[in-house]
Amino acid sequence: MKALWNERYGNDDYVYGKEPNQFFAQQLQQRMPGTIVLPCEGEGRNAVFAASLGWNVIAFDQSELGKDKAMLLAKEKKVNIQYTVSDALAMDLPENSVELVTFIYAHFPSNIRQAIHRKAIQWLKPGGSIILEAFNPEQLNKRSGGPKDVSMLYTQEMLAVDFEVLKLTLHTTETIELQEGKLHQGLANVIRLIGIKI
């Protein structure tokens, strides 16, 4: 998978654009800044936006080229982000140490997905939140982005189990219009979730 993402990020274009995901941006603007973790952060658009709002940003991705472009974007926007090249299963942070973990189109194989989601819950302080936007199985035949393996697409039932210890304040399936660089364009079927660690 690392080779695939390095190939995808290995040009001058920002394939998902330089602007943050819309749902992510709306949610962040309603919150007091703290420490945020962004798994699978790619070229850094969401990390840089968070930093611009005063968040302490911890981002990671398995792609070295993704990190390089994220750091260039951070320099361009005159913000600081902490970015580690790491596999999601290998990434480790102290328990009860962050206010927010955001999964924005962070799709994992079914054999590791739950372990990664549960790890993220451990990182949260009590009162901290998970924010997630991801493609659901209805997306499979659309050209607006997402994995072409149905086992890597998420259902509400699946996520209800993964995040069962959280208080879910939003958990919906929606059809939205994506305009995020050249790889996320058009109508898309997504799941949006917000959960709070009690």
pLDDT digits (tens, 9 = 90+) for 127-157: 999 999 999 999 999 999 999 999 999 999 9
Structure confidence by residue, pLDDT tens digits, 6-43: 888 988 899 999 999 999 999 999 999 999 999 999 99
Q: Which residues pair with 192 in a beta bridge?
A: 133, 172
Structure confidence by residue, pLDDT tens digits, 84-110: 999 999 999 999 999 999 999 999 999
State whether CATH 3.40.50.150 applies to domain 2-197.
yes
Give the start-to-end residue ranges of the domains of the chain: 2-197
* Confidence band of 166 (pLDDT split at 50, 70, 90): very high
* Confidence band of 1 (pLDDT split at 50, 70, 90): confident
Q: Which residues pair with 172 in a beta bridge?
A: 192
CB 61 within 8 A of CB 81: no
Query: Which has the higher per-residue pLDDT, 1 or 172?
Result: 172
Rounded mean pLDDT, 105-116: 96
Q: Looking at this protein, which amino acid is placed at residue 65? A: L
